[in-house]
């Protein structure tokens, strides 16, 4: 599988977080030009801000030090050594590759060249991405977006360069949509942009959706609807009508169950668009049953046999709900 070799010196993302996504409208602009002579080689970090390792050298464990030393000298030897770790290669590489990439990015990318099997490769990609993003987020996005294999682009989910209710990282996910071309990376950026907006100003999620099209717009609207449902805001159903969410788009069902689970369940059962939302219905009903078994069972009993089979709501692992659901 090809490891990307594009330059990491990316053009600056202009404008504010939400204004910049206007550039994502179709037809898309041509991909950023890749210089062949004067642009720095791919393994340079090209930081936008001061970069320091996530953990100081003196705080590293002996096994991490050994791994870094081996990887700097011989990538193949380092990989063979990693495969012998008692916790398994996947578990060991979590964190270890980040510390290597923080100190020697070329060595980390050489190590990726020899890593075998999907899971270890994915965690290695995610760890390198995390290190790259700490110095230049846009450059990191260009790097992973250029992988040939969609499954390896999905390794973005193994990175820890996410925004979690803090301005500390300053990652401009929405603006980075101007750079990303692959659906896997764009989907991840939209999800992270929505997380950030939810922590700061959730109205920005609908602003983002207004600048997107197709499934990307639906994804953002689904995220906005989730937040409205958590507050019991009926406007959520207006967004759901357009978003037509699937299980992959929906989240926080436990929080929705605290407010108006019946409203969402009724909306799901009223849909006849052919989209399978059985897992959403069952999981929401399951959370509802933990809080109010009688109400959840009453809703289940109000369904036809076909609907109960469709949403699997007669077969909960919760004994109280199951008993009530099976009552006459």
Instruction: State residue 14's pLDDT score.
Output: 38
Give the pLDDT mean for 136-151.
95
CA distance to 6, 17, 20, 180, per residue, from 146 (Å):
7, 23, 21, 9
More confident position, 199 or 126: 126
Taking only the tens place, the pLDDT of each residue in 235-283 is 999 999 999 988 888 878 888 988 889 999 999 989 888 888 888 888 8
Please list, in sequence order, all residues whose beta carbon lies within 8 angstroms of the beta carbon of residue 225, skipping any fewer than 6 positions away. 236, 237, 239, 240, 243, 245
Instruction: State residue 279's pLDDT score.
Output: 85
The answer to which of 33-42, 96-105, 189-198, 216-225 has the lowest mean pLDDT is 33-42
Give the pLDDT mean for 49-72.
88
The DSSP-derived string for 40-97 is PPTT----SS----SS-GGGS-HHHHHHHHHHHH-HHHHHHHHTT-TT-HHHHHHHHH
Taking only the tens place, the pLDDT of each residue in 72-91 is 999 999 999 999 999 999 99
* H or E segment to which residue 202 belongs: none
298: preceding bond cis by omega (within 30 degrees): no
pLDDT band at 211 (very low <50, low <70, confident <90, very high): very high
Please list, in sequence order, all residues whose beta carbon lies within 8 angstroms of the beta carbon of residue 303, skipping any fewer than 6 positions away. 269, 311, 313
d(CA 146, CA 179): 11
Query: What is the overall mean pLDDT for the chain?
Result: 82
Taking only the tens place, the pLDDT of each residue in 160-174 is 888 877 666 778 999
- Cα-Cα-Cα-Cα torsion 139, 136, 197, 14, nearest 10 degrees, comes to -70
d(CA 174, CA 191): 9
pLDDT band at 34 (very low <50, low <70, confident <90, very high): very low
Give the pLDDT mean for 13-35.
40
More confident position, 113 or 167: 113
Exposed/middle/buried for residue 23 (C-beta within 10 Å: 0-12, 13-18, 19+): middle
Instruction: State residue 83's pLDDT score.
Output: 96
Coil vs helix vs strand at 244: coil
Instruction: State residue 41's pLDDT score.
Output: 47
Closest CA to 46 of 112, 105, 113, 107: 105
More confident position, 124 or 312: 124
Asked if the model's pLDDT at residue 36 lies above 50, the reply is: no
Name the percent of the chain lying above pLDDT 90.
51
Asked if the model's pLDDT at residue 222 lies above 90, the reply is: yes
- Contact between 239 and 225 under an 8 Å Cβ cutoff? The reply is yes
Instruction: State residue 286's pLDDT score.
Output: 85
Long-range (24+ apart) CB contacts under 8 A made by 204-211 are 204/17, 204/18, 206/239, 207/18, 208/18, 208/21, 208/174, 211/18, 211/21, 211/22, 211/24, 211/25
Name the percent of the chain lying above pLDDT 70.
78
Instruction: State residue 213's pLDDT score.
Output: 95
Q: Where are the domains of the chain?
A: 1-171
């Amino acid at each position: 599988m090809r490891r990307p070799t594009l330059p990491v010196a990316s053009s600056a993302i202009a404008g504010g977080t939400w204004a910049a996504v206007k550039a994502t409208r179709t037809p898309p602009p041509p991909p950023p030009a890749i210089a062949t002579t004067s642009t720095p080689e791919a393994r340079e970090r090209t930081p936008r801000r001061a970069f320091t390792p996530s953990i100081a050298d003196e705080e590293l464990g002996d096994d991490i030090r050994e791994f870094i030393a081996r990887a700097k000298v011989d990538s193949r030897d380092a990989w063979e050594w990693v495969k012998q770790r008692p916790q398994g290669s996947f578990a060991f590489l979590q964190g270890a590759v980040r510390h290597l990439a923080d100190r020697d990015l070329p060595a980390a990318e050489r190590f990726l060249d020899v890593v075998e099997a999907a899971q270890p490769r994915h965690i290695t990609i995610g760890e390198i991405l995390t290190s790259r993003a700490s110095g230049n987020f846009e450059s990191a996005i260009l790097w992973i977006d250029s992988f040939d294999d969609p499954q390896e682009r999905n390794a973005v989910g193994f990175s820890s360069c996410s925004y979690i209710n803090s301005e500390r990282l300053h990652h401009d996910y929405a603006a980075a949509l101007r750079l990303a071309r692959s659906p896997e990376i764009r989907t991840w950026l939209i999800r992270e942009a929505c997380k950030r907006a939810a922590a700061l100003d959730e109205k920005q999620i609908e602003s983002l959706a207004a600048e997107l099209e197709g499934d990307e717009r639906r994804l953002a609207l689904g995220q906005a609807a989730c937040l409205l449902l958590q507050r019991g805001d009926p406007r959520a159903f207006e967004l759901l009508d357009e978003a037509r969410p699937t299980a992959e788009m929906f989240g926080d069902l436990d929080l929705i169950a605290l407010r108006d689970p019946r409203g969402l369940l009724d909306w799901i059962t009223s849909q006849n668009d052919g989209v399978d939302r059985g897992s959403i219905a069952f999981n929401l009903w399951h959370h509802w049953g933990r809080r109010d078994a009688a109400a959840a069972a009453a809703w289940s009993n109000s369904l036809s046999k076909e609907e109960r089979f469709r949403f699997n709501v007669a077969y909960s692992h919760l004994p109280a709900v199951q008993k009530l659901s099976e009552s006459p």
